Structure 1
Amino acid sequence: MAANRNPDRNSTRNRRMELWKYRWKQYGVGYIFVLPWLLGFCAFMAFPLLTSFFMSFHKVSIGGGAFKFDWVGLLNYRNAFLKDNVFPVELILYFQEMLLIIPIIVIFALLVSLLLNQQFPLRFLFRGVFFLPVIFATGQVLTELFAQGAGELPFLDQYQLEPLIKQYVGPQLADPILSVLSRSIVILWYSGVQVIIFIAGLQTIPRAVYEAVWIDGASPWDSFWKITLPSMMPFISLCTLYTIVELFTYPLNPVIRHISLNMFKADTGYGYANALAWSYFGFVIILIGLTMLFIQRSMRQRRDVR
């Protein structure tokens, strides 16, 4: 009996080793590229994040040159949604606004990349023009531009679109739509990286595939829906994820501004501000998870149809 069990154990062990080798060959290079980031995260980011999470359950005060922690449990989180009259409202309004801006930026970047991927003179110059705002309009520069009114387009007042939108859309959706339209220049400023990613994705599709379907009589419209869009789904998911992270760390984000203000108030302080930040982070993670789940399901359905 023992002689019969040993071959089974050896075969199981060999299968596990083969599976481990296969997974390492498939994912090992990716892990090696991620390893420097993981080391940097553990060395410089892990401890501050854990400290911030620890503070969110305390009333933090400063005395004698040191922090004093008084345990309050979930009180800071309850106050964020039950007593704070600003945080929930700004959170909901900003999420509504971002749910409109994010798909617009991704679709706009995809359409622009389709145009910039064509063969025409000075193509590199137009690609550089779309990427320039990413270099200049960042951080304090973007804040100053918006303070001077450079981030808004005046067509809402010129064509009197505000009363029309409120009439046909309703008061609940009118405010986020008007906010998106008034800051439509953000679509240009925050689409440069996505355009570059989409152009790189378009260049991975073999030209022979398009030539084959054109010979079969497919139109450019058909080739876009049958070849280009399915092939670009991984890049669409990457650009969507990047856009979500970028816009929810936006310099003029009202939620982040509210968190910063509460950080230096005597009645709230670091503990309450960290609770607000972690609540905001939780909502963003849920949005990212739902977005990735939707994209993975759509990709799986396309594979099943094919």
Structure 2
Amino acid sequence: MNSEKGRRKGLFVFRMQEYGVGYLFMLPWMIGFAAFVAFPVGWSLYNSFNTLYFRAGGFSYTWVGLENYKRVWFENSNYRIELITLLQELVIIIPLILIFSFFVALLLNQRFPGRGAMRAIFFLPVIFATGQVVMELFTQGAGELPFIEQYNIEAIIHKNFDERTAASLVGILSQAVIILWYSGVQILIFIAGFQTIPKTIYEAIRVDGASPWESFWKITFPAMVPFIGLNAVYTIVDLFTFPFNSILGIITSNMFSPTTGYGYASAMAWLYFALVLLLLSVTLGLTYRATKGR
């Protein structure tokens, strides 16, 4: 028994000697994560199972179990409608951002004069169009396309599509500039992905007589599948936390409402998080299967 304890103690001392410096460097991050991420997330989850009231001495908790989740999903029709509408819009916007950034990166990966300047221009919106800047630009109308109103595109869409589909399409067109503003990081990731493909492979396939179209589908696209999955995950997280996200607005308004409060709003947030987590799981699963098949 003593020998076993001695062996475990020796193993612990060995690991601390080997990895102790690394743990020390990680310690500030772990403290920050526990204080500013883990604790707020855990508290929010606990709140979602309670009804919270403000008292003179602080918060007053009343355990209600899954009642908040039932109220959100079965009684709040506005939340469900906004959630479905947002999902419809993002299901269209996310592929558009990925396709746009993929082909722009493909062009920027070619050799031509001023390539570095062009790469910087496409990345500039990532630096400037963030947070409060985006909100101010949209307030001033910079996020809209002028031809929508000029050619009465909205009326044409409502005439040819059902109400829900038309609302989604109009919402996408009104935020079309987002595709430009929110493609900078994806373009850089795709450029990095293109540069991981050895040029000797393209030279070999040209010698075999393959056309550029065949080399794209046989070499370029399969090699870029992991980067497409990475960009899909990044875009999902980025757009689902967009400043003009209607769901986040509903959650905030219910948080400070006297009839709902923190517990009800926390249940809304966790249902929203479950949807995002589901989409991320599907994206990662499809990427893994495609990569494994390749």
Asked whether the two chains share a fold, i.e. TM above 0.5, the reply is yes
In the alignment, the residues of structure 2 paired with residue 210 and residue 38 of structure 1 have an alpha-carbon distance, to the nearest angstrom, of 45
- Between the two proteins, the alignment pairs up a number of residues equal to 272
Pairwise CA distance, 1:84: 1.4
1:276 equivalent in structure 2 = 268
In the alignment, the residues of structure 2 paired with residue 34 and residue 145 of structure 1 have an alpha-carbon distance, to the nearest angstrom, of 38
1:249 equivalent in structure 2 = 241
- Greater alpha carbon shift after TM alignment, 36-45 vs 63-72: 36-45
- For the 8 Å contact 1:60–1:270, the answer to whether it is kept is yes
1:120 and 2:112 matched: yes
In the alignment, the residues of structure 1 paired with residue 258 and residue 43 of structure 2 have an alpha-carbon distance, to the nearest angstrom, of 20
Q: Provide Cα deviations, 1:49-69, integer angstroms capped at 9, x if missing partner.
A: 111100001110111141110
Show structure 2 runs of 5+ residues with no match.
1-22
Pairwise CA distance, 1:43: 4.1
Q: Equivalent residues in 2 for 1:1-306 (5 A)?
A: 40-301=32-293, 303=294
TM-score (norm 1): 0.84
Aligned identity (percent) is: 52
* 4+ residue runs over 6 A deviation: 33-36
Pairwise CA distance, 1:82: 1.6
Pairwise CA distance, 1:214: 1.1
TM-score (norm 2): 0.87
2:7 equivalent in structure 1 = none
- Greater alpha carbon shift after TM alignment, 288-297 vs 145-154: 288-297
Pairwise CA distance, 1:39: 5.6
- For the 8 Å contact 1:146–1:152, the answer to whether it is kept is yes
Pairwise CA distance, 1:152: 0.6
C-alpha RMSD over aligned residues: 2.0
Q: Tell me the secondary structure at the aligned position of residue 77 of structure 2.
A: coil
Pairwise CA distance, 1:196: 0.4
Pairwise CA distance, 1:150: 0.6
